[in-house]
Amino acid sequence: MNQTPAASSKRPRNEVEDDEFAQLDPKRPKEGTPVELATKSPYLIVHRVRCAGGSYHSHHYEIADYLDVPRLFARDNKANGLRGTKPIEDLEQFLEEHSDYDFVVIRKYSCKAYYEAHEGEFQEIGDSRLRMQISSEQRAYLYTLRNDLPLAMPQDESITDFSQDMAEALNALDGLCQWNGTFDPDYSEDLELKSPYVIVYHSRMSLNEYRNKGIDPVYWSCIDGFRDYVLGSMSNDYAEADACLEKSEITSRHLAKLFREGDIVVTKRKGEEMGLLCKSVRCPNPQTCDLECQSWTFDGTFRKKLEHLRITWPAGQSLDTIHIVSLETFPLRFAGKELEDGLKERGQMLWDCRFRKYVSYEDSIPAANKQTTNLRFMVDMSTYHTLHPSTADAPQDMASPGEALEHTTMQAKEPPGDDFLFTLPARVPGFGFHNKRWVDLSLRKVKEVSWDTNAFQNLVMDEQKKNLLEALVVVQGDRSQTKVADVIEGKGNGLILLLHGPPGTGKTLTAESVAERAQKPLYRVTCGDIGTHPEDIERYLDSVLFIGKTWDCVVLLDEADIFLEERSPSDLKRNALVSIFLRVLEYYDGILILTTNRVGTFDEAFKSRIQLAVHYPSLKMSDREQIWKLFLDSIKGEVKVTNAQLFALAKHPLNGRQIRNTIKTASQQAFYQKSCLTYGHLQTAIDVANEFEDYIRKARCQTDEERAADSFARAPECKE
């Protein structure tokens, strides 16, 4: 049984010899007076008064227990403590003598708070001369009451001293009510259940229906007694809490009732909503709740992560009632369907990325006032760890000693359950193909890749060449159909394409369209990425080809001429670069596309390494007309350009990139003028751009085509 201080805990009184003071101290029940108990009840209510002492309270008991509700009585003075008329001198002994109670309710009162509430009820007696001559302790006897004061109201209560039978009965409800072993009979003597009995509040439905759930009838009487007391004594409190929660509101008084074990709670970190599974709730005071929660980390394997959350009532909150979702942490069930669906979709995306996934990503960059759309990333934790073996390079949440998800569960198509998806991380590392860097991706911005199935068909090029390219790319995807015997195994299994021709004729666009047609990632490499030192180039190319093979990419080596120029006996560095690229072309077994506008400078050794070289001639007028139409049709907004005007635009000898730049410039001017895009806007942009072209031509005394032919970079183009 719990120890309760009795007569030995009372504060000793000072002896008062003056009869005038002594006769003002009304008599309390004599110590040892037998206590008469009411009709048999399954529980005992003990009223416990605490007094902190000080000033007029120096003669009061520190702790005193009673069987009736305490109060102050007529003729009491301030030397009298808050008390009942049926004292319990030794609670432990009392309970040993009355051992047939199933549990004990301790209602707690504050003597000081009761005095403060009824300060105005006391009347002064005696003259002022006498009060000036005595001590403050004796002065307490000069304040008296005419009438009995109201019964005290308890500040708090708890249930303790559970009998073995009661503990076993409540423990039988453990699974049904999700009490997590709270009423384990082995610990029943030490258990103290504090009001407002939150675990009962959350399990009321189960408590009212337990008889239909297979609970042994031998426990029914104990369970009914416990349930009836708690639900009866807390009925008003619970009804008030229900009314708040029904409106998705909460008060500081009911904060502890907001959270329950098994709930998904939501908190915000780094701008991302995080879901956690609440495993236990403890509220040290009415305005503070401590939650032990579980979530999952992901480092290629899902691992459990345990963490502590403390929820406090918002500091400086002027209103006692607030919306639940305004708390720093709140249960998901109050968040609304939009957030619930968002967390679930985000978790499903991470589950889909658990092995490897090529994804699309949308993000905004406010500082640059820029919206970046349709970025492509690869999420692949296995490759991430291969490229970052040091834990120092890994994101903070990667290393976790928690329990890992089983291998068989990882291999399953469906995730373990809905709660699992809600508690997954909000971010995951991904490799950006636009900047060749690993970055943390916000999973709410990660989407499935939407392949541009029309990109390849919209290419403006010779149909015969287009059909041949499509056939090579599609068949290369089936490795069983592409391997051709070589003297040395592992050589010549790739598809090496060379796209050559003047700038702006669609070489890079073809490579991008090939990747879309093959539904493979496009890994674009430029000379700026590679460097100029042979050792650095070889190391970088090895990493590129490792990624290209691992992720089955289409590798694009744009503007490759700087590395593939003809060797010479006097330039050993150049020769080393060529040798490195020859080896790459020989042994790479994926799709590798080279583009150049200086094919005439290539080393002859590359000819045999290239499976197909495709020439892109300068655009004809019909090609330009088709490109103008494709670009104008893709513009969002009103465009007023007639077919005749389109024909006139096609007469200008522009390449594809120049046409795109012209439309972009004209569109921005139209937007600035708040008008639709017209032929006039386009013609103005062409006229201004042509001034630059004319100036360059005059400075060099030849066109770009003539200059390329004179340097043997390209053959002369046929005039239209």
Residue 300 has pLDDT above 90, yes or no: yes
- Taking the C-alpha atoms of residue 141 and residue 22, their distance in angstroms, rounded to an integer, is 9
The pLDDT of residue 74 is 95
**Residues ≥6 apart with Cβ < 8 Å to 208:** 227
Cβ distance 412 to 333 under 8 Å? no
User: How many Cβ atoms from other residues are within 10 Å of residue 628's Cβ?
Assistant: 23
As a whole number of angstroms, the longest Cα–Cα distance in the chain is: 133
The pLDDT of residue 285 is 84
Residue 121 has pLDDT above 50, yes or no: yes
Give 169 or 537, the one with higher predicted confidence: 169
Burial of 610 (0-12, 13-18, 19+ CB in 10 A): middle
Query: Looking at residues 636-648, what average pLDDT do you find?
Result: 90
Cβ distance 221 to 100 under 8 Å? no
pLDDT tens digits, residue range 86-109?
999 999 999 999 988 999 999 999
Give the rounded distance of the alpha carbon of 202 from its chain centre. Answer: 26
- Taking the C-alpha atoms of residue 170 and residue 307, their distance in angstroms, rounded to an integer, is 29
Residue 298 has pLDDT above 70, yes or no: yes
pLDDT tens digits, residue range 307-323?
999 999 987 766 789 99
The pLDDT of residue 21 is 35
Query: Looking at residues 680-695, what average pLDDT do you find?
Result: 91
Residue 644 has pLDDT above 90, yes or no: yes
Q: What percent of the chain has pLDDT over 70?
A: 86
Among the residue ranges 358-367, 461-470, 592-601, the one predicted with the least confidence is 358-367
Q: Which of 332, 297, 331, 302 is nearest to 427 (CA)?
A: 297
Cβ distance 590 to 552 under 8 Å? yes
Burial letters for 225-248: b for 16+ Cβ neighbours within 10 Å, e otherwise? bbbebbbebbeebbeebeebbeee
- Taking the C-alpha atoms of residue 678 and residue 642, their distance in angstroms, rounded to an integer, is 9
- Taking the C-alpha atoms of residue 539 and residue 562, their distance in angstroms, rounded to an integer, is 18
Cβ distance 637 to 675 under 8 Å? no
- Taking the C-alpha atoms of residue 540 and residue 411, their distance in angstroms, rounded to an integer, is 34
Give the model's confidence band at 479: pLDDT under 50 very low, under 70 low, under 90 confident, else very high.
low
Among the residue ranges 326-335, 391-400, 485-494, 668-677, the one predicted with the least confidence is 391-400
Q: Which of 196, 199, 203, 189 is nearest to 160 (CA)?
A: 189
Q: What percent of the chain has pLDDT over 90?
A: 58
Cβ distance 288 to 310 under 8 Å? yes
Residue 426's alpha-carbon distances to 216, 292, 303, 336, in angstroms, are 46, 20, 14, 19
pLDDT tens digits, residue range 482-504?
555 454 455 667 899 999 999 99
The pLDDT of residue 621 is 93
Give the model's confidence band at 693: pLDDT under 50 very low, under 70 low, under 90 confident, else very high.
confident
pLDDT tens digits, residue range 271-282?
999 999 999 998
Give the model's confidence band at 255: pLDDT under 50 very low, under 70 low, under 90 confident, else very high.
very high
Give the model's confidence band at 1: pLDDT under 50 very low, under 70 low, under 90 confident, else very high.
very low
Residue 181 has pLDDT above 60, yes or no: yes
The pLDDT of residue 491 is 60
Burial letters for 287-296: b for 16+ Cβ neighbours within 10 Å, e otherwise? bebebbbbbb
- Taking the C-alpha atoms of residue 589 and residue 591, their distance in angstroms, rounded to an integer, is 7
Domains and CATH numbers, the chain: 7-157 (no CATH), 162-233 (no CATH), 248-446 (no CATH), 463-615 (3.40.50.300), 621-710 (1.10.8.60)
DSSP string, 249-308: EEEGGGHHHH--TT-EEEEEETTEEEEEEEEEEEEEETTEEEEEEEEEEESSSEEEEEEE
Among the residue ranges 209-223, 246-260, 449-463, 522-536, the one predicted with the least confidence is 522-536
pLDDT tens digits, residue range 364-419?
644 333 445 679 999 999 999 998 887 444 444 444 457 899 999 999 999 998 79
Among the residue ranges 104-118, 377-391, 443-457, 701-715, the one predicted with the least confidence is 701-715
Q: What are the tokens at 442?
A: 């916000």
pLDDT tens digits, residue range 556-602?
998 887 777 777 777 777 778 788 888 878 888 889 999 988 887 77
pLDDT tens digits, residue range 191-242?
999 999 999 999 999 988 888 888 999 999 999 999 999 999 999 999 999 9
User: How many Cβ atoms from other residues are within 10 Å of residue 534's Cβ?
Assistant: 17
Cβ distance 714 to 597 under 8 Å? yes
The pLDDT of residue 104 is 96
Among the residue ranges 23-37, 136-150, 436-450, 627-641, the one predicted with the least confidence is 23-37
Give the model's confidence band at 190: pLDDT under 50 very low, under 70 low, under 90 confident, else very high.
confident
Give the model's confidence band at 676: pLDDT under 50 very low, under 70 low, under 90 confident, else very high.
very high
Residue 344 has pLDDT above 80, yes or no: yes
* pTM metric for this prediction: 0.80
Q: Could you identify the residue written with the tokens 């994804």?
A: 359
Phi, psi of 450 (to 5 degrees): -100, 100
The pLDDT of residue 583 is 82
Cβ distance 459 to 514 under 8 Å? no
The pLDDT of residue 30 is 40
Query: Looking at residues 238-263, what average pLDDT do you find?
Result: 94
Query: Looking at residues 661-670, what average pLDDT do you find?
Result: 94
Q: What is the 3-state secondary structure (H, E, C) of 93-141?
A: HHHHHCCCCCEEEEEEEEHHHHHHHCHHHCEECCCHHHHHHCCHHHHHH
The pLDDT of residue 126 is 75
Query: Looking at residues 600-616, what average pLDDT do you find?
Result: 84
Give the model's confidence band at 186: pLDDT under 50 very low, under 70 low, under 90 confident, else very high.
confident
Residue 78 has pLDDT above 50, yes or no: yes
Q: Is residue 46 within a helix (H) or strand (E), and if so which, with residue range?
A: strand 43-50
Provide the pairing of β-strand 249-251 with 192-194: unpaired
- Taking the C-alpha atoms of residue 56 and residue 72, their distance in angstroms, rounded to an integer, is 14
Strand, helix or coil for residue 614: strand
Provide the pairing of β-strand 156-160 with 329-331: unpaired
Q: Which of 253, 269, 120 is nearest to 195 (CA)?
A: 253
List, in sequence order, the alpha helices (H) in 134-173: 136-139, 164-171
Residue 34 has pLDDT above 70, yes or no: no
Among the residue ranges 133-142, 415-424, 535-544, 591-600, the one predicted with the least confidence is 133-142
Give 325 or 485, the one with higher predicted confidence: 325
The pLDDT of residue 158 is 96
Among the residue ranges 44-48, 434-438, 527-531, the one predicted with the least confidence is 527-531
Burial letters for 373-405: b for 16+ Cβ neighbours within 10 Å, e otherwise? eebbbbbbbebbbeeeeeeeebbebbebeeebb
What is the separation, in whole angstroms, between the first and last Cα of the chain? 107
- Taking the C-alpha atoms of residue 505 and residue 141, their distance in angstroms, rounded to an integer, is 108
The pLDDT of residue 7 is 38
Peptide bond into 196 cis (omega under 30): yes
The pLDDT of residue 490 is 53
- Taking the C-alpha atoms of residue 376 and residue 363, their distance in angstroms, rounded to an integer, is 11
Cβ distance 682 to 666 under 8 Å? yes
Give the rounded distance of the alpha carbon of 22 from its chain centre. Answer: 70
Query: Looking at residues 301-310, what average pLDDT do you find?
Result: 95
Give 501 or 28, the one with higher predicted confidence: 501
The pLDDT of residue 592 is 92
**Residues ≥6 apart with Cβ < 8 Å to 542:** none
Cβ distance 109 to 84 under 8 Å? no
Residue 451 has pLDDT above 50, yes or no: yes
Average predicted confidence (pLDDT) for the chain: 85
**Residues ≥6 apart with Cβ < 8 Å to 559:** 526, 527, 595, 596, 597
Q: Which of 13, 31, 30 is nearest to 22 (CA)?
A: 13
Residue 17 has pLDDT above 60, yes or no: no
